[in-house]
Chains A and B, each alone.
Chain A
Amino acid sequence: MADEVVEGLKAKFGEAIKDVHEKSRRRTYITVDSDRLPDIAEYFYKDLDCRLQICTGIHMEHGFEILYHFAIDRADRIISLRVILDLEKPSIESIARRVPAAEWIEREMWELLGIEFRNHPDMRHLLLTDDWLEGNYPLRRDWKDWRGGEHDTSE
């Protein structure tokens, strides 16, 4: 089943598939090109009938990684699509319009990690207060505690 998925993906998107890592029978990690990601995600969701479980954003030395975890329930597999974004200005096209389940998690990644999602339908703070300090992303590695400092406006 997995091989079918990977083969199908390679046949359809070719160049955009950069790396396939088969961790075990149930888990596959596929690195893809960030520009093609919305199409690939849509293909997973519409054509393969996968369920978007969640996305994970990670701040690593080599850039921001986002993992889109798709579950194929009929075959007991989880396929994670990995994209690697630029460290300086992380930005990617939003998939929320094509895969509605992604709307909230994109808002969360934006506010906690500062990844920009282009063309997101409704980008507001989800978890943090509205007066949270601009440009301050707590899940980044270089985040500095600013509580009680001069910028702390919460009364």
Chain B
Amino acid sequence: MTPVNRTQIIPIGPYHPLQEEPEFFKLHVDGEKVVKLEIEIGYNHRGIEKLAEGLTYDQVPFLVERVCGICSTSHPFACVNAIEDVGGFDIPDRAKYIRTFIGELERIHSHLLWLGLAGHFLGYNTVWMWAWKYREPVLDCFELITGNRNHYAMFKPGGVRRDIEDEDIPTAMRIVAGLERPLLMFAKIAMADPVLQARLKNVGILTYQDCVELGALGPTSRASGVPWDVRKDHPYAAYDMVEWDVVTTENGDVFDKVIVRVLEMLESVKICKQCLEKLREVKDGIDANYKEIPPGEGIGHHEAPRGEVFHYVRSDGSNRPVRYKIRAPSFMNVPTNNRAVVGYTVSDATITLAAIDPCYCCTERTIVVDADNGKQLMGWKELLRLSQEKTRKLMERYKSRMDRVWI
């Protein structure tokens, strides 16, 4: 008998509500095992690089803010860094602290968002609701300081647009400090919960070597022990004026990615507190008021929640950029799925694809198609059910130990 090609294809996507780029994954499966992954992106390409060439330097931060809603400070951050790099400008210390504070607050809200969705995909809807509940105060803090829950429009080349008033500092401090307890709780649960351990340990491993080869960034690479962090390696804003540590772990599996993110949030809380303290004393203005951008080129980057955001700007001395290049971290992280998913089972695929924090709800419409006749085998719902069922089975097994964790 001739060997039959038994592989079947599961398309995932492209529609889902959460990611910067709706992506379309095709999982090739053989029985339960994933043997190959094809990625198709472009559902979100809006030609922002070209649009930026038609705007003035003051307008560009508003445009790049709208690259991605979750990192809506990271892109303007990198953008102003790049524009300031063209002329070698320096900005007042107070502006640096405000920038750092906003950047870190955003990291907290983004990681909490991810944590919640990760919980949802594992069938832990409680985690989803709790994580998003604790995310709300962060958004309140943003609203207090910047006037909007998302899209803060705080940054401008040469400084920031709005000051943080002295009266607001105690409230902001209370909100930030109030995050510590829930974060510790999440850390404790993640470490102690046997189901999470069974479900996430040794799943979707990305090795150190893969990370280096594909240039993976952010928590994705730090979970594999690659200590790349732009904030430490290429300090900008106030990151070299406050105390904090880079979090890395060794294993590179999904579990480690959870841990890295939770610990990173605690570091962010630390940074935020220090910034607020400093803002009480440092009062040297918030804007350097640069008028002209000289001809030349500049590179700016910022460690966004998902990894390094990279912006390149080329100026010819006029008030508009000649070329504007944006590289979001997912551009480097998404190809790593190729290596992380292959070899694991279908029910692990959703959480692994989700672990790099790209495409969470790719999920609205997933169907499993038989490659031979194109018949639909399984919907997204089935896939999600598969994932959640697995968790439930594990819950039974660890029942006695579970009770001790979730009181």
Contacts and interface: CB of A to CB of B under 8 A. Distances in A.
Contacts of A40: none
Contact of A69 (B85, B212, B234, B299): B299
A46 to B, nearest CB: 11
Given A29-B297, A101-B215, A103-B335, A125 B325 contact: no
Interface stretch (B12-20, B40-48, B148-156): B40-48
B308 A53 contact: yes
Contact of A27 (B49, B85, B214): B85
B372 interface: no
Nearest to B235: A76
Contact of A138 (B50, B296, B325): B50
A52 B215 contact: yes
Interface in A83-138: 100-101, 103-105, 125-129, 138
Interface residues of A, number: 32
B233 A53 contact: no
B248 to A, nearest CB: 13
A54 B327 contact: yes
A62 interface: no
A88 B213 CA distance: 33
Nearest to B44: A127
Given A27-B85, A73-B234, A138-B47, A78 B314 contact: no
B335 A104 contact: yes
Contact of B327 (A24, A53, A126): A53
Interface string A6-37: 00000000000000000110110100000000
Contacts of A126: 41-42
A58 B228 contact: no
A74 B228 CA distance: 9
Interface in B303-352: 308, 310, 312, 314, 322-323, 325, 327, 331-332, 335
B170 interface: no
5 closest Cβ contacts across the A-B interface? A101-B215, A54-B327, A127-B42, A127-B45, A73-B233
Contacts of A127: 41-42, 45
A41 interface: no
26 contacts: A24-B88, A27-B85, A27-B298, A27-B299, A51-B215, A53-B301, A53-B308, A53-B310, A54-B310, A54-B312, A58-B322, A58-B323, A67-B312, A73-B233, A73-B234, A76-B233, A78-B234, A78-B299, A100-B213, A101-B214, A103-B335, A105-B327, A127-B41, A127-B42, A128-B42, A138-B47
A56 B312 contact: yes
A60 B295 CA distance: 14
Contact of A101 (B45, B301, B325, B332): B332
Contact of B234 (A24, A67, A71, A103): A71
A139 interface: yes
Nearest to B233: A73
A125 B42 contact: yes
Contacts of B42: 125-129
